[in-house]
Structure 1
Amino acid sequence: MEKKDNILFSDLFSVKDVDKDGKKFDRVSRIGARSENYDMELTLDVNSELYPLDHGDKFSLVLSSSLSLSNAQGSLQSAGGMYSQQASGLDSGMGGSYGKSDVSWRSVVSGAERSLADDYDYVMYGRVYRFDDSAGSKVSIFVSFGGLLMCLEGEYHHLQNLGVGENIYLLVRK
């Protein structure tokens, strides 16, 4: 299956619980959230000093194969997202081979070029390490962002663009 868009998943979530089993680490909170559009369940570890989330908070979550804006606008509109910036044909150069351009990663870091991350408050880069489809039509995707973990559970057709071993970006904004 050839991927043409760098946006793999996009939805709005509402925080249902924070550290439900107790706080294990000083700077990390494990949030439980439910999506508004696709009936998905999310468990996500976040750095609570950098990006605190509280019970009842609503946030937009995007999973992307790159930070390129070249395909992001159309992808987010079709995925129910709220992205409205013009595409600029930029790639971060940090994994993901979709939407690449000749723009150097240095221009992204210096702010000379825009990326998808510019429109979000919290961005992580990680790898899909497990895909569990043992529960019938419901599947679970597990991603590690350098030790911060995510589990996204829901219908297969919403998560079919994600595969084990794939590097992805997680982007969040309130």
Structure 2
Amino acid sequence: MQILADNFKITDIDKEGKLYTKVSRIYMQSPTISIALDYNTTLCKLQMGHAVEVRIFRGIHENIDCFYLAYGRIYSVEPRDNRVSITASFGGLLLIMDAPQEAVKGVGDKDDISLALTFIL
């Protein structure tokens, strides 16, 4: 089941400094959702200004057509007003997302997820 599909623009990379050799944190923005995502820089080359489609699925999905695929688990869902803050870990690489509640309905703590990134040309 697909939880989210939206187009994002990369607005910053490692804005708080680079902590690890092969990991960076990108900051992405769509019209209604903001995401900070740690990713393996050996597997994926991203730059500021790139446009990407982010898709998040419930469960583990191996046959997704994309350029970067990660499997993880949601460990925090914090609703506030009409928005929700979601934190997930992909083997220690973090996803921090702030979104309208209606954009990510049915998401719960401890849900296994797949995250797919695709370049938008």
Could you say which TM-score interval applies, normalised by the shorter chain? over 0.9
Whichever structure has more helix as a proportion of its residues is 1
Letter in 1 for 2:5: S
Gaps in structure 1 of 5+ consecutive residues: 1-5, 69-91, 93-114
Structure 2 distance, partners of 1:166, 1:67, is: 10
Q: Does 2:77 correspond to 1:131?
A: yes
Q: 1:43, 1:158 → 2: CA distance?
A: 17
2:25 corresponds in structure 1 to 30
Partner residue of 1:144 out of 75, 89, 98:
89
State the secondary structure of the residue aligned to 1:162.
Answer: coil
Aligned: 1:170 with 2:115: yes
RMSD: 1.3
Structure 2: stretches of 5+ with no match in the other structure: none
- Report deviation, 1:161: 2.4
Alpha-carbon displacement from aligned partner over 1:23-63 (angstroms, at most 9, x marks no partner): 01010000111014xx1000000111110211100001110
Number of the residue aligned with 1:21: 16
Q: Percent identity?
A: 30
Whichever structure has more strand as a proportion of its residues is 2
| Structure exhibiting the larger radius of gyration computed from Cα positions | 1
> How many corresponding residue pairs?
119
Letter in 2 for 1:125: Y
Partner of 2:6: 11
Specify the code of the residue in structure 2 equivalent to 1:27: K
TM-score (norm 1): 0.65
Select the structure with the greater relative contact order (CA < 8 A; seq sep ≥ 6): 2
In structure 2, the partner of 1:158 is 103
